[in-house]
Structure 1
Amino acid sequence: MEFGVGFFSLVLVWLCVDMCFCGGQECPALPADVNFNMVYNLSSFDAEGPIQNIVVHEAQPETIFLGVRNRIYALNKALGKLSELRTGPVGSPDCMGCNNCVLGWTPTASVEDNDNKVLVIDKFAQYLFICGSAQHGLCYLHLIYPEHNISDINCLFTDKNNSPELCPDCVASPLGTQVYIYTEGYTSYFYIGATVNSTIASTYSPKSISIKRLKGSEDGFSFPSVEYSSITVRKQFLDSYPIDYIYSFKSGIHVYFLTVQKEDVNSRGYHTRIVRLKAGEFEVKLYQELVLECRYVKRKRRRRNSVNGNTVYNVLQAAYLAKPGAHLAKELGVEESDDVLFGVFAETEADSVTAHRRSALCTFPIKTINEIIRDGMADCCGSSQGHSLRGLEFYQDLEYFFSRVDRFDGRLDHTLLTSIIVTVIGNSTVANLGTSDGSILQVSVSGEIPFVLHANFSLSTAHPVSRQASRLGDSLLFVTGSKVTQVPVIGPGCLHFLTCSRCLSASPFLCGWCNGVCTQKHECQIHWSPDTCPPAITEVFPKRAPVNGSTELQLCGWDLQAPNGPPITESSHMVWVGPQPCSVIPAKSSPTT
């Protein structure tokens, strides 16, 4: 017999004898094609406390830095511990860097734990910045060199330059902070988004949005413009209108922040916004924002809680900026060199940020966001009513928002996504998604390909996968509780695929069929096939037939047709029973049953 690669199927053949009949039998049930309970041995490191931040240094020496309460770890790319820095408790002799800062204020407590709130690298200067919740959000600087231990740090604070009313050296908020470092010339600028309330704002407060310059003396920060380098929530709304900064990035000539906040100061509902600032513009005069909306378009026979027939996933859980693969770029109408924002969203109660176990993935081309802002600016600046009408309504219809459709078509109804890293393998765009159950899902992102879950493996049964995630070389780094785990970009392995056709459908992960087992090429010691499957016949009906009569045979099996191959025709398959050739009956053949 000659068959193509494919799924479980049946083929009806005609034997050239006098009499015919069809037994009408059903083929055996499809075999299981995947085992998501497969356990893979993945490298990990336990920090002995909840990991709060992770950042990687991609240049030599390749280093992974972990932020934990009162500690910073430096690891090599194999997750081996290189060194450790004690950042707290402040006031304790265990704090290795505390004595580097001479403060002119009274400590808030005799001993104060220090949660890591900012852990970022200035790639141009090879600096690691460490900012904590203690000491009003002060930062330390570590110069990354192979011979430098992480305990070699400078305090970024000058007492005479700071006061309770104006503290440029106070960077991190204990409620959460996002920082993007932009370098111009030999100067580093911090673009900062910080969550604040009335308590934090009362003394030495970071602002909601601010731009700070690292001083050339490397002993603190300054505002490029004292008056215009920051904005913050108005005093009367500090407690009733929190802004949570989820993610920050740079694309082109702009720096962006993603936020979750109430729809307006009088609303109880929450939504997601993207904030845009111009890189190299050190006054916050061109602050612009849009509402980002991820929704599922309701289809027939699917009854959902929805708004105007749609399910709205209003609260962003995590985001990642990446270039699209060729297939996704074509679908989105962008180039492979363009930036695309990938966001995982969840549905919440109308008056809460508490997420349901119902998630979606949406994609937002950055150039589309910029086009909407550009058109909104034109409408705003061209208004005959002048400044009085400037507002979000110029950028989008408030009844519609800037909406994108769930890439997974509502299939993650019972899953809460908490983390995302996007990679490109060949022409495929692959989303690596963390869940609240401590698992990693690996899924191809393209509307041209049906939803196919390539991998679903557990990193923890006790902790969700953190929003904090990173990539170093060919490894993805995911955090669950106190543990960071290394996952290969091409997946943990292929052994969880049990059939050849399912194995070959995972081509982005370089899987192939090897002597009855799905493997990656380096794991196969004999013939490895990435594109063809041997056909398997499991049943033949009828069991008996007249020797001299015409008989219609029903063949059952799998891998009898390529999943993306041509339809079954009289010439697409050749079948023999002994020396006798048989004719395929396309009208009675099926590739799916």
Structure 2
Amino acid sequence: MMGSLFPLLLPLSLLFLGHLVNPWQCPDEPRSSSLDHNVQYDLPNYVAPKHIQDLISKDGQEPLVFMAITNHLQVLHGSDLRILQSVTTGPTNSSECSRCSQCSMGSARPDQPEDTESQVLVLDPEEDILYSCGCSLRGLCFLHQLIGAKISDSKCLFDEQENFHLLCRDCVSSPLGTLLTVVTRGYTAYFYLASSVVSRMAESYSPVSVSVRRLLSTEDGFADGFHSLMVFPQFSDSYPIRYLHTFRTEDFVYFLTVQLEELGGTAYHSRVVRLSAMEEEMRR
């Protein structure tokens, strides 16, 4: 039987080796055959005057694009990228920034004028509300009420009576990077925040790494006694954590990070922080 199989196996082996040496390939199609040079393509475009720092879109009968650049928050039409509105967000001492001057900060207000660089731009998952947070004014946030295709009103999420230079409850955004996921339960909005922090920020901020803050119904800040996590102060410079992305599933909020594998090491790896979206306390 071995003698009868060998002649059959030998041609099959040669056929298999032939396919390895000369594999079949799809024929190349000239690109010019699929391109009509007589068609004039007129695509909508927008050229930002400065670097785009944040971008978010809103679907609907009239799709919108919200874009944050230095000292401006712009509203664009989603179809043709026309500028529908431009809101001034800085510099903080500019007479053109009415939203800056409306924030009564008392002793917490910085002495020097600042440019506003966007750190957070997020839509409320239930209401026609846009939240923005910058690096200026100690990282406070604004609530922008949307009516149609415009920002009709803006509120400063800051309570002068509850915030001070060294203890600033409503200072939530870090100039080194902040991520936010908004979770609504009932009629209440919760801010799930993650921020990169270092020791020098303690001089003008009240930094925490991860926190869950409840927005007050008066829309002028956040409730006291929120839950938070923080890198030990003695390790905040030697163990940096960079937050890259956040998202929510039905029951949880996630933050993707890059951090050192071990204290004093040089190798980095990625980790995922998971918080319950169903409870305000960090019990799990």
Pairwise TM-score range, normalised by the shorter structure? 0.7 to 0.9
Contact kept? 2:118, 2:132, Cα under 8 Å: yes
One-letter amino acid matched to 1:92 = S
One-letter amino acid matched to 1:139 = C
Q: CA RMSD in A?
A: 2.2
Deviation of 1:239 (Å): 1.0
Deviation of 1:33 (Å): 4.8
Instruction: Name 2:168's counterpart in structure 1.
Output: 167
Deviation of 1:176 (Å): 0.4
Structure 1, residues 74-104: CA drift from partner, whole Å, max 9, x if none? 0111211110100001112222311110111
Question: For residues 165 and 280 of structure 1, what CA distance do their matches in structure 2 show?
Answer: 31
Question: For residues 130 and 206 of structure 1, what CA distance do their matches in structure 2 show?
Answer: 18
Deviation of 1:254 (Å): 0.5
Change (3 A) 1:151 1:125: closer
Question: For residues 162 and 194 of structure 2, what CA distance do their matches in structure 1 show?
Answer: 22
Identify which of 124, 128, 131 aligns with 1:129.
131
Deviation of 1:151 (Å): 6.2
Instruction: Name 1:177's counterpart in structure 2.
Output: 178
DSSP 3-state at the match of 2:85: strand
Identify which of 115, 118, 124 aligns with 2:117.
115
Deviation of 1:30 (Å): 5.1
Instruction: Name 1:102's counterpart in structure 2.
Output: 104
Structure 1, residues 356-407: CA drift from partner, whole Å, max 9, x if none? xxxxxxxxxxxxxxxxxxxxxxxxxxxxxxxxxxxxxxxxxxxxxxxxxxxx
Change (3 A) 1:269 1:97: same
Instruction: Name 2:206's counterpart in structure 1.
Output: 205
Instruction: Name 1:469's counterpart in structure 2.
Output: none
Instruction: Name 1:330's counterpart in structure 2.
Output: none
Deviation of 1:42 (Å): 3.6
Aligned length: 252
Change (3 A) 1:53 1:243: same
Instruction: Name 2:10's counterpart in structure 1.
Output: none
Structure-to-structure mapping, 1:137-148, within 5 angstroms: 137-146=139-148
Contact kept? 1:178, 1:192, Cα under 8 Å: yes
User: Structure 1 stretches of 5 or more lacking a match?
Assistant: 1-28, 287-593
Matched, 1:250 2:252: no
Question: For residues 74 and 187 of structure 2, what CA distance do their matches in structure 1 show?
Answer: 28
Question: For residues 217 and 60 of structure 2, what CA distance do their matches in structure 1 show?
Answer: 24
DSSP 3-state at the match of 2:56: strand
Change (3 A) 1:135 1:200: same
Structure 1, residues 492-527: CA drift from partner, whole Å, max 9, x if none? xxxxxxxxxxxxxxxxxxxxxxxxxxxxxxxxxxxx
Structure 1, residues 202-247: CA drift from partner, whole Å, max 9, x if none? 3322310000111000111124x44xx1011110111111111111
Structure-to-structure mapping, 1:235-314, within 5 angstroms: 235-286=233-284
Deviation of 1:118 (Å): 0.6
DSSP 3-state at the match of 2:151: coil
Instruction: Name 1:91's counterpart in structure 2.
Output: 93
Structure 1, residues 97-152: CA drift from partner, whole Å, max 9, x if none? 111101112644532111011100102121101111001111111111117x4362
One-letter amino acid matched to 1:216 = S
Change (3 A) 1:282 1:165: farther
Change (3 A) 1:110 1:203: closer
Change (3 A) 1:285 1:247: same
TM-score of the pair, normalised by structure 2: 0.82
Contact kept? 1:245, 1:260, Cα under 8 Å: yes
Structure 1 vs Structure 2: percent identity of aligned residues? 39
The answer to which structure has the higher helix fraction is 2
Question: For residues 207 and 122 of structure 2, what CA distance do their matches in structure 1 show?
Answer: 17
Question: For residues 176 and 121 of structure 1, what CA distance do their matches in structure 2 show?
Answer: 18
Question: For residues 207 and 77 of structure 2, what CA distance do their matches in structure 1 show?
Answer: 33
Question: For residues 186 and 127 of structure 1, what CA distance do their matches in structure 2 show?
Answer: 13
Contact kept? 1:52, 1:117, Cα under 8 Å: yes
Question: For residues 274 and 191 of structure 1, what CA distance do their matches in structure 2 show?
Answer: 14
TM-score of the pair, normalised by structure 1: 0.41
User: Structure 2 stretches of 5 or more lacking a match?
Assistant: 1-25
Structure number with higher relative contact order (C-alpha < 8 Å, ≥ 6 residues apart): 1
DSSP 3-state at the match of 1:97: helix
Question: For residues 245 and 158 of structure 2, what CA distance do their matches in structure 1 show?
Answer: 26
Deviation of 1:32 (Å): 4.9
